[in-house]
Structure 1
């Protein structure tokens, strides 16, 4: 069973991260040209890194949901781990390999250049690359920076595979024990803002987002679904408020802060959307989408950023989220009126919204490739803009920071189009065929023994 709403959330999570990094690269391009213009992307996308928190919650939910009917034991656990490893590593190796080729071409094969030393934090190149490709914790980020989140994912899968060895009825207790271990270890000081070793990885507070997602999955699989439509609206507004208001950039935010500010609303959002999927009530996604877009657009127009006073950020957050809530309420009210007075017209709107839902689900399908490829694509595009922007005749279009917004709009739109096209191609011609191939291999390796007929 494919959960469409959850796939939509995967796409939203990836796009949050894409816009966050697009903003950073846009600012880098402006600074490289010696200019001080504000980037086009702002507003709540300044906290777009929260897409990772949403990914972690979704991962925990999906792990429980996809194993809801599986047997427990060593073989099912091995089958699960095989499916997850073959899902992550081949795609990761492809994009990490692209980044490695670039680094070798740009900084040489000796590993002693300034570029390699900066990337590897002074560590030898070969061990650094081996750990990067294997997604093993180490002091520097992997060769493709976004791979740090996959290190967490691999850890999640290993622990959950151990849980699958034990009886399913133990799962709530095991998750509770996991929460206690993580919390105790983090409070005792074993956690770090960046998980650079196995111990700091094991007790990093962000792991709680995975566990809470798993608890949401457990509730949904047991039929404990309540007010999914309303909860989805509340969770959307809660997450929008967090994205707008949060301005910290410290060790607390990178650990407990992320769980509190972003993890909790993400858990409620995943739980609500999963309930909508189970009841086939996807119409509730429409007011959530409208409220999100209204809040996003208005907050962007306020011009408030992290350097703004707390009062300005608070007031802008309250105003924009309140207007977003009003927009949600109007859509819900209008839908209710149509349902009461003109149900046929309401049903006719499906022909308009269904393609939107299908398109959002497709972006969710591409989300893993989108997440991994966007930094490569956007960085290459920025270098192209830097080269073309040296020409005064092309400056209005390609020189980031040039007066006017044309250069910014062209960079953002082109970057998004190229990133989406790259992720679609990667999914369609590489990730999807591999998924099918490894799926067949998994069935062959872990085929359940068929019961033998009784002797005559």
Structure 2
């Protein structure tokens, strides 16, 4: 996912997107090695890579504050904001969801998948009981909800944003106190999900970052990393069948992720440390990497099952392939599809939202 260019590029946050995406990739490499090999090498601790999603949510809140400064109080700007958010989210989702559907059809399992997940809901990212057909895109349903609420905030003066965020947090708390949970109506479960607090925390981090020069950003980053790792330690060894997906992971990873985002942005603003260019480049590919990696890894695992042998050699070869192939596909998808469609959409947006003469 790409960070818009403003007065401060936020290269460190772009690199952090790469880290978040690679954490999620690690989960699926570990899970598919376990599925394909009788003697897996990778630790189940890699399942803590789910924290990459929590990191993404915090980054998203931070970036929304960063890119909308000076655009509050104007209905036209709110519509423009929603247009650009949809432009960034939907075209890549449509591509990789279509590829997932083709894969299910080729395997003869499409009808089974469609009995659980709606086709229209999966393409439009509408809340439903099951995950979308492209499983990882469940997070984008949350993102679109965040953007819709934030667009409402853009209608009011910017000075009211902290109060609006606090009120939003209060509304979510009321819903949770009334018993809304993951088994509730899909729309209610989305609106009152604790993941919303990660977006709100990221937004408050953005407000702090832009309010004044941040003291001790290195310490803030270091403490954030320790808290983040500590969350994984507290949760312990968890697998997909018993991993907390409501308050547990938000409390474990949200605070650390917020401190990391704030600290890294502060380090860059002080010119104390800027991430390596290669990691920023992977950050450019991160959205395509996030959406495509599960398809690539699953295909490799399916092929691996045909020649898996005792011993570690084939595991090592396939683990390397499962790291490199998704990166290659993501780079190709970014340069050949994601960026061109974004450029075309931005050109349309400039005409659509051009100021009247």
- Whether TM exceeds 0.5 here: the answer is yes
Counterpart of 1:119? 113
Q: 1:158 to 1:81 in 2, by over 3 A?
A: same
Counterpart position of 1:163: 153
Tell me which of the two structures has the higher relative contact order, counting C-alpha pairs closer than 8 angstroms and 6 or more residues apart: 2
DSSP-derived class of the 1:253 partner: coil
* The one of 15, 19, 25 aligned to 1:12: 19
Aligned to 2:3: none
- 5+ unaligned residues in a row in structure 2: which ranges? 1-5
Q: How does 1:7-406 map to 2 (within 5 A)?
A: 7-30=14-37, 35=38, 37=39, 39-42=40-43, 44-107=45-108, 115-116=109-110, 118-120=112-114, 122-123=115-116, 128-192=118-182, 197-223=186-212, 225-247=214-236, 253-282=244-273, 357-387=276-306, 389=307, 399=308, 402-406=309-313
Distance 1:208 1:224, change over 3 A: farther
Which range moved further: 219-228 or 166-175? 219-228
- Provide the aligned length of Structure 1 versus Structure 2: 348
Query: What's the CA shift for 1:251?
Result: 7.8
C-alpha contact (below 8 Å) 1:93/1:133 kept by paired residues: yes
- Per-residue CA deviation, residues 114-133 of structure 1 (Å, 9 max, x unaligned), is x345434x35x7xx100110
Residue 424 (1) aligns with residue 325 (2): no
- Mapped partners of 2:106, 2:42: distance in 1: 31
> SS where residue 246 of structure 2 aligns?
helix
Check 1:433–1:261 CA distance in 2 against 1; reply closer, same or farther (3 A cut). Answer: same
Tell me, in whole angstroms, the C-alpha distance in 1 between the residues paired with 2:177 and 2:268.
Answer: 37
Provide the aligned C-alpha RMSD in A.
1.9
Unaligned runs of 5+ in 1: 108-114, 286-356, 390-398, 451-456
Matches of 2:327 and 2:31 in 1, distance apart? 18
Distance 2:222 2:141 in 1: 32
TM-score, normalised to structure 1's length?
Answer: 0.73
Deviation at 1:181, TM superposition (A): 0.9
Q: Give the corresponding residue for 1:446.
A: 353
Question: Whose radius of gyration is greater, 1 or 2?
Answer: 1
Q: Distance in 2 between matches of 1:96 and 1:161?
A: 26
Question: For residues 61 and 142 of structure 1, what CA distance do their matches in structure 2 show?
Answer: 26
Q: Which runs of 4+ in 1 moved over 6 A?
A: 249-252
2:30–2:44 Cα contact (<8 Å) kept: no
How many angstroms apart in 1 are the aligned matches of 2:203 and 2:58?
A: 8
Offset of residue 72 of structure 1:
2.4
* Offset, 1:448: 3.4
CA distance in 2, matches of 1:43, 1:230: 30
TM-score, normalised relative to structure 2: 0.92
How far residue 41 of structure 1 moved from its aligned partner, in angstroms, is 2.2
